Amino acid sequence: MVEAFAVASGKGGTGKTTSTLALGMALADDHDVTVVDADTGMANLLFHAGLAEADPTLHDALVDETADVREATYDRFGMCIVPCGTSLAAFEAADPERLRDVVADLAADADVLLLDSPATLGSKAAVLPVVLADRAIVVLQPTVPALSDGLKVQEYALSYGTEVAGTLFNKVHDRGADAVETADRYFEGPTLAEVPDSDAARAARAAGEPLLAHAPDSEAAAAYRRAANRIDVRGGDGEAVADRFRSAVIPDPP
């Protein structure tokens, strides 16, 4: 029983990693959650989760096909976390296509897989998490570039048969609230939450802890919990999902 979500935004700096871990912690109250740093070129989840020294990481599983991704899986904050390393050499040696097998392996032991996806649509590797996921959660903030890129991510997801579970608006300030309401018309799925602009997320990042661990009583943490409540996790057949990931037809690049 597993559903895979790509947490995606077209642009960096929208709070995507903070959101992934916050949703993961909130969903972990009722589900077995595994969070994967699928942003293999700009990994930063490890810094948010106190795993800066983690070894091995997802990179190892992407480099060596005999490596078991479960060895790069760490139990933290009530979730399983698969961090990615930051070494450029490892990134270059990694085969992004192996992500399919890694996701398939992880699917066997989880109810919810959250893939922290690259903040770009610039390459096949960057788009792959959105292709592999059942549904995408589009992370936005009320600025023109973030909205514009969020629309692109949404259309990519829909083009590739990935539904949109909803949108998550980060860094919303007083006047930006109107924008959230208007933007809702253009995005599929509900607005899962409006997360206020706050220092709590920055402090959590600096402390190397997910927001819900660092500032559980903050307004932002409450918003993420509401978002998680609005996501109705559909339990798929774990084996069927695993097969689907493995069989996604992705030939070698020319």
Is the Cβ of residue 64 or residue 163 nearer to another protein in the bound state?
163
| Contacts for 60-67: CB closer than 8 Å, 24+ residues apart | 60/85, 60/90, 61/98, 61/102, 62/94, 62/95, 62/96, 62/98, 62/99, 62/102, 63/90, 63/93, 63/94, 63/95, 65/95, 65/98, 65/101
CA dist 18 and 212 (Å) reads 9
Q: Tell me how far CA of residue 51 lies from CA of 119, 163, 205, in angstroms.
A: 21, 31, 12
236 in contact with another protein (CB under 8 A): no
112 in contact with another protein (CB under 8 A): no
248 in contact with another protein (CB under 8 A): yes
240 in contact with another protein (CB under 8 A): no
Task: Tally the C-alpha atoms within 13 A of residue 243's C-alpha that lie toward its C-beta.
Answer: 5
Q: Which two tokens mark 62?
A: 């992407």
* x/- letters, 146..165, toward another protein (CB under 8 A): -xx--xx-xxx-xxxxx---
Number of residues engaging another protein in binding (CB under 8 A): 32
Is the Cβ of residue 75 or residue 249 nearer to another protein in the bound state?
249
Residues 185-214 close enough to bind another protein by CB under 8 A: 186
Radius of gyration of the chain (CA): 17
Binding another protein (rule: CB under 8 A), the pick from 183, 201, 211, 241 is: 183
Contact (Cβ atoms closer than 8 angstroms) between residue 211 and residue 49: no
Is the Cβ of residue 15 or residue 210 nearer to another protein in the bound state?
15
DSSP 2: B
In three-state form (DSSP H/G/I as H, E/B as E, the rest C), the secondary structure along 177-224 is HHHHHHHHHHCCCCEEEEEECCHHHHHHHHHCCCHHHHCCCCHHHHHH
216 in contact with another protein (CB under 8 A): no
Residues 117-146 close enough to bind another protein by CB under 8 A: 124, 127, 131, 142-145
176 in contact with another protein (CB under 8 A): yes
Is the Cβ of residue 72 or residue 103 nearer to another protein in the bound state?
103
88 in contact with another protein (CB under 8 A): no
Shortest Cβ distance from residue 231 to another protein (Å)? 21
217 in contact with another protein (CB under 8 A): no
Is the Cβ of residue 173 or residue 202 nearer to another protein in the bound state?
173
Cα angle 48, 51, 54 (rounded to 5 degrees) comes to 150
Instruction: Give the interface with another protein as residue ranges (CB under 8 A).
Output: 124, 127, 131, 142-145, 147-148, 151-152, 154-156, 158-162, 173, 175-176, 178-179, 182-183, 186, 248-251, 253
